[in-house]
């Protein structure tokens, strides 16, 4: 089984070819970051138009790199949501048309399922069941993954996602969009303990998160910023608060589920202090930790192709000619931990 995967839910146009037996054959990505930078955030209409421009050349490039002809493709997977509706419609319409023309099924994929399964692209993949911490620009969730397609939501952010909090605080510090990685770079020059931020929700039971208070605390703290060192100290304090919150909630979730593997996925999984702190925590808890490689932490086509391949093998393909695109689409129904 060989699947072409297409991701267009936000500001990356990404395409990949995944083969059930041989693994990932090729992947390409075009980031729109420069296009949106002047606006300080993603402009949905510009994103949609750029996906239209980029998709076909990217598909040609991945097929060529995978030495694959359309005849060897068994299905076309695409992100059907959640995400920006216009951007999703471009990917969905494109993927469905391609599948129709090639006479193969099209496969709708949930963007977060893609992130969850991204570590399966690595050499030493996690085995089901496992606990997943999903930390992206749009979501912060702890998910109990019993098997392929079997996801139980244990906790999530009640307001801002972790990546969103990073981006908003970065903006307050005058860093260009998307600021998560830049804030972290600035924080690496900051000193610990100069700025103390609250650890949201750690004093309460349960596995939910809240990051909007942290953002407000950051706003207040910026008023006393004078020097470059002040900025770095603030960034360090903020990052530490987010990291410790994510780590302690993950520890709780490992204990309450009894899982001995933790998968960390989504754009914020690229954060180095978070990775290091989670490794330490997992060692203390006797658990193994799995990350996708850095480039597959953020949005990519490979995760959609591998999720699509699993779906195709399970027969979960589009049954009619409708165009599927869901701006809001829960991965799971919520179950109280």
Residues in contact with ligand KG4 by the rule CB under 6 A: 10, 136-138, 163, 166-167, 178, 180-181, 184, 266-268, 270-271, 298-299
106 or 169: whose CB is closer to ligand KG4? Answer: 169
| Least distance from ligand KG4 to the Cβ atom of residue 1, Å | 26
Q: Which does residue 211 touch among Zn ion, ligand KG4, none (CB within 5 to 8 A, set by kind)?
A: none
74 or 167: whose CB is closer to ligand KG4? Answer: 167
CA 163 – CA 268 distance, rounded (Å): 6
Site for Zn ion contains 156 (CB under 5 A): no
| Least distance from Zn ion to the Cβ atom of residue 139, Å | 8
196 or 295: whose CB is closer to ligand KG4? Answer: 295
Residues 139/156, Cβ–Cβ less than 8 Å? yes
Distances 150 to 33, 129, 328 between C-alpha atoms, Å: 33, 9, 19
- Structural tokens at position 201: 């929700």
| Phi, psi (degrees; rounded to nearest 5) at 296 | -100, 5
CA 81 – CA 69 distance, rounded (Å): 28
Cα torsion 9, 12, 13, 14: sign:
negative
| Least distance from ligand KG4 to the Cβ atom of residue 47, Å | 12
Site for Zn ion contains 136 (CB under 5 A): yes
Q: How many C-alpha atoms does 331 have within 13 Å on its Cβ side?
A: 29
Phi-psi region of 103 (alpha: psi -120 to 50; beta: other; left: phi over 0): left
The answer for residues whose C-beta is within 8 angstroms of residue 156's C-beta and 6 or more apart is 139, 140, 141, 142, 208, 209, 334
Q: Which does residue 50 touch among ligand KG4, Zn ion, none (CB within 5 to 8 A, set by kind)?
A: none
Stretch that binds Zn ion, among 47-55, 140-148, 202-210, 298-306 (CB under 5 A): 298-306
Q: Which does residue 291 touch among Zn ion, ligand KG4, none (CB within 5 to 8 A, set by kind)?
A: none
CA 13 – CA 50 distance, rounded (Å): 8
Q: Which does residue 180 touch among Zn ion, ligand KG4, none (CB within 5 to 8 A, set by kind)?
A: ligand KG4
Q: Which does residue 184 touch among Zn ion, ligand KG4, none (CB within 5 to 8 A, set by kind)?
A: ligand KG4
Stretch that binds Zn ion, among 100-108, 129-137, 219-227, 318-326 (CB under 5 A): 129-137
Residues 41/83, Cβ–Cβ less than 8 Å? no
Stretch that binds Zn ion, among 159-167, 271-279, 292-300, 323-331 (CB under 5 A): 292-300
| Least distance from Zn ion to the Cβ atom of residue 51, Å | 15
112 or 277: whose CB is closer to Zn ion? Answer: 112
| Least distance from ligand KG4 to the Cβ atom of residue 72, Å | 29
Angle between helices 212-222 and 228-257 (to 10 degrees): 160
Q: Which does residue 163 touch among Zn ion, ligand KG4, none (CB within 5 to 8 A, set by kind)?
A: ligand KG4
Q: Which does residue 19 touch among Zn ion, ligand KG4, none (CB within 5 to 8 A, set by kind)?
A: none
| Least distance from ligand KG4 to the Cβ atom of residue 320, Å | 28
Q: Which does residue 181 touch among ligand KG4, Zn ion, none (CB within 5 to 8 A, set by kind)?
A: ligand KG4
- Structural tokens at position 172: 């307050």
Stretch that binds Zn ion, among 24-32, 49-57, 120-128, 294-302 (CB under 5 A): 294-302
- Could you tell me how many helices (H) and strands (E) the chain has, helices first? 10, 10
CB-count exposure of residue 142 (10 Å: 0-12, 13-18, 19+): buried
Where do contacts with Zn ion occur on this chain (CB under 5 A)?
136, 299
């Amino acid at each position: 089984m060989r699947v072409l995967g297409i991701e267009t839910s936000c500001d990356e146009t990404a395409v990949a070819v995944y083969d059930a037996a041989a693994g990932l054959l090729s992947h390409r990505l075009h980031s729109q970051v420069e296009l949106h930078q002047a606006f300080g955030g993603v402009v949905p209409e510009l994103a949609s138009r750029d996906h239209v421009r980029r998709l076909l050349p990217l598909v040609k490039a991945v097929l060529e790199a995978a030495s694959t002809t359309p005849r060897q493709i068994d299905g076309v997977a695409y992100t059907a949501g959640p995400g920006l509706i216009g951007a999703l419609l471009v990917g969905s319409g494109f993927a469905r048309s391609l599948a129709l023309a090639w006479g193969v099924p099209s496969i709708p994929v949930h963007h977060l399922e893609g992130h969850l399964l991204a570590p399966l692209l690595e050499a030493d993949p996690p085995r089901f069941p496992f606990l997943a911490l999903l930390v992206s620009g749009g979501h912060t969730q702890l998910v109990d993954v019993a098997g392929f397609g079997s996801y139980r939501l244990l906790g999530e952010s009640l307001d801002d996602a972790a990546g969103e909090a990073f981006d908003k605080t970065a903006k307050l510090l005058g860093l260009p969009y998307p600021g998560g990685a830049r804030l972290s770079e600035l924080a690496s020059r900051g000193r610990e303990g100069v700025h103390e931020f609250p650890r949201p929700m750690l004093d309460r039971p349960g596995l939910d998160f809240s990051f909007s208070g942290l953002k407000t605390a950051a706003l207040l703290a910026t008023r006393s910023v004078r020097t470059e060192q002040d900025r770095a100290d603030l960034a360090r304090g903020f990052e530490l608060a987010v990291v410790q919150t994510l780590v302690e909630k993950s520890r709780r979730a490992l204990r309450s589920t009894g899982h001995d593997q933790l998968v960390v996925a989504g754009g914020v999984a690229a954060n180095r202090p978070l990775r290091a702190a989670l490794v330490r925590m997992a060692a203390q808890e006797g658990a193994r930790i799995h990350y996708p490689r850095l480039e597959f932490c953020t949005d990519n086509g490979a995760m959609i192709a591998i999720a699509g391949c699993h779906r195709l093998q399970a027969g979960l393909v589009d049954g009619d000619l409708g165009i599927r695109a869901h701006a809001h689409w829960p991965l799971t129904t919520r179950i109280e931990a």
